[in-house]
Chain A
Amino acid sequence: MELSAYAQGGCRLLGDPRRLSRRAYAALLRAAFRGVLQPHGGVADPELSDVDPAVLKQCHAAAAACILEAGRQRADRAALSACLEECKLDRERIEQFCTEYQKNREALEELLGSIGRAPPHVTDVSWRLAYRIQTHELHRAYQPTYLLTLSTENSDTGAQPDLSFSCTMEQLQAGGKGRICCATLLVMVFIEVVK
């Protein structure tokens, strides 16, 4: 697990009891995890009011970098400990860091896994069955039609405009559903194999 020189410097400060007391360290750790997982939460904590702002800033950035890199690499406790040892943190502080990391690991990995470009993600389908009776060009034009609306989401830009289209009963049966069913079967087989 590699950290940049700036982050390493910040980590060394993190471990320095002259710059960060035990309580301040614990508060900063909490703030760093909060900052990564709930960005709009804010860093304000009364325990940190005594710390020099420049030091606070570097420590916070270093802690965040360490958290993110550990998450990215799916680091285990040993790997994280080794990295923090290199930055001269004492045993107690390393333990605290690892405990917080374990606690938040799942949320962290979920967050990191969701970053990235992908086609719009289908989240839901709503449907409407209508019976066409007449159009402005054609009377007595009886035909059942389905109107499907796919709700999509894009991790970059949030919700996207829905995709709507019509289809006949035959198309829904043979084309849409049939193919989607094949896809599901394959997915379920795959999941079994991987387990």
Chain B
Amino acid sequence: LVLAVAELGHLAVELLRRGAAPKACEAAARKLNAGVDTVQHGVEGLMYLLTESSKLMISEMDFQDSIHVLGFSDELNKLLLQLYLDNRKEIRSILGELAPKLPSYHSLEWRLDVQLASRSLRQQIKPAVTIKLHLNENEDLTTQVLQTDPSTLLHLIQQLEQALGEMKTNHCRRIARNMK
């Protein structure tokens, strides 16, 4: 039984990492001499146990207390605890990816141009900074091309410096410290 659970545990973690794998479940079912449905339910149950425990980041003791009600053998309980401890960091990082997300910054390219003339006005000297902003949006990389002028650029930098400075204030440091 312990070996079976170990096998199912492995499948559960793979399910979290890569998603459903029906072939793997079938193979495990054959190996364990059990029905595919049984294996599937077992894997899903273990997955639920692991994700809930990781989500709440419960302590070893709490985990043991929680599974105690299931009435498993000591050996099995130990195995489940080990499974949780070994995988919780990775599971948490996967769960972290699932948060509702805005497009997030990926990278930035820029170019300095000087406009010398246009159809509507000859003989110009108009510096412009063209920016290619790469964002992660729902697992896709999107690109926005934007432009700005030197004085606005300086203004933007000033604003961003203020933003960065904010994290270093006592107020924010105190909150960060107390949260941990």
Query: B33: CB under 8 A from chain A?
Result: no
Highest count of chain B CB atoms <10 Å: which of A126, A138, A140, A166:
A138
Render A164-177 as a binary contact track against B, CB cut-off 8 A, 1 for contact.
11111101110111
| Bound complex: CA A126 to CA B162 (Å) | 11
Query: B144: CB under 8 A from chain A?
Result: yes
Query: B56: CB under 8 A from chain A?
Result: yes
Q: A163-B144, A165-B105 are in contact. Are A188 and B150 (CB under 8 A)?
A: yes
| Bound complex: CA A73 to CA B117 (Å) | 10
B105 touching A171, Cβ below 8 Å: yes
Could you say which interface size class chain B belongs to? 35 or more
Residues of chain B from 78 to 114 with CB closer than 8 A to chain A in the complex: 92, 95-96, 98-105, 107-110, 112, 114
B159 touching A152, Cβ below 8 Å: no
Render B109-134 as a binary contact track against A, CB cut-off 8 A, 1 for contact.
11010100011111111111111010
Query: B112: which A residues are within 8 A, CB to CB?
Result: 183, 186-187, 190
Render B39-64 as a binary contact track against A, CB cut-off 8 A, 1 for contact.
00000000000000001110000000
Query: B23: CB under 8 A from chain A?
Result: no
Query: B161: CB under 8 A from chain A?
Result: yes
B108 touching A113, Cβ below 8 Å: no
Query: B157: CB under 8 A from chain A?
Result: yes
Question: Which of A3-11, A51-59, A91-99, A143-151 forms contacts with chain B?
Answer: A143-151
Q: A122-B152, A183-B129 are in contact. Are A133 and B179 (CB under 8 A)?
A: yes
Query: B31: CB under 8 A from chain A?
Result: no
Query: B176: CB under 8 A from chain A?
Result: yes
CB < 8 Å neighbour of B92 from A115, A125, A132, A138: A138
Query: B103: which A residues are within 8 A, CB to CB?
Result: 164-166
A123 touching B152, Cβ below 8 Å: yes
Query: A184: CB under 8 A from chain B?
Result: yes
Q: A125-B156, A166-B101 are in contact. Are A177 and B161 (CB under 8 A)?
A: yes
**B residues in contact (CB < 8 Å) with A:** 55-57, 92, 95-96, 98-105, 107-110, 112, 114, 118-131, 133, 135, 144-150, 152-157, 159-164, 166-167, 172, 175-176, 179-180
**A residues in contact (CB < 8 Å) with B:** 71-74, 109, 112-113, 115-116, 118-127, 129, 131-133, 135-142, 144, 146-148, 150, 152, 163-169, 171-173, 175-177, 179-184, 186-188, 190-191, 194
